[in-house]
A and B are shown apart, each in its own frame.
Chain A
Amino acid sequence: QLQLQESGPGLVKPSETLSLTCTVSGGSISTTDYYWAWVRQPPGRGLEWITNIHYSGRTYYNPSLKSRITVSVQRSENQFSLKMNSVTAADTAVYYCARHHSGVRHAKDAFEIWGQGTMVTVSS
């Protein structure tokens, strides 16, 4: 059974870089049918999509965040990562990684499997 697990610092200082990794277990990240996603949720608020990346490197970004984001796949480690620079308090949120079924015929085009989420607080 596929599982996703986020990891990274829970506290980041303003203007610094947030770095998170999602480890995929129980299946391969190098699968044609899926993109790997980051979604965040500020405290008490709704979900915000950040990015989708395919193991091939094809990537989609939320334009509102694109200038501050770097996302990559580490195939040998079955992981994918998110870096967000110049963070502010507005970036304080629970960050989820997820598997998005898309890009192929008959895709569900939905976030099927989610990690448990990791809280990141931006504060000095």
Chain B
Amino acid sequence: DIQMTQSPSSLSASVGDRVTITCRTSQAIGTALNWYQQKPGKAPKLLIYKASNLYSGVPSRFSGSGSGTDFTLTISSLQPEDFATYCCQQSYSTPLTFGGGTKVEIK
């Protein structure tokens, strides 16, 4: 199985801050990496697919980059509605696996 390691596991930030979350995979996966946002009690929402493609309807302040084993999700200017947990997921091979999540909290 491909292991997913996210860092940090949590962070505190203020509205307007630039936020960067990292996902590292245990083996190279090309760009087969997706990012999701999840709020408490809600289902995950797709933000970024194939490492850098913005999903329909997702604000442009979200962006993704990376390939191989190292990936980054960036929020250029954190908004109040962005306080949530973010997780990565690889689609390179089954079993499909998810990272443990990064909780973005209000400073």
Contact = CB atoms under 8 A, between A and B. Distances in A.
Contacts of A52: 96
Given A49-B98, A110-B34, A116 B43 contact: yes
Interface residues of A, number: 22
Interface residues of B, number: 23
A47 B46 contact: no
Contacts of B104: none
Given A96-B43, A115-B43, A117-B43, A110 B91 contact: yes
A109 B32 contact: yes
A100 to B, nearest CB: 8
A47 B43 contact: no
Interface SS of B by simple majority: loop
Contacts of B87: 46-47
A46 B5 CA distance: 12
B45 interface: yes
Interface of B: 32, 34, 36, 42-46, 49-50, 53, 55, 87, 89, 91, 94-101
Interface of A: 46-49, 52, 60-64, 96, 98, 102, 108-112, 114-117
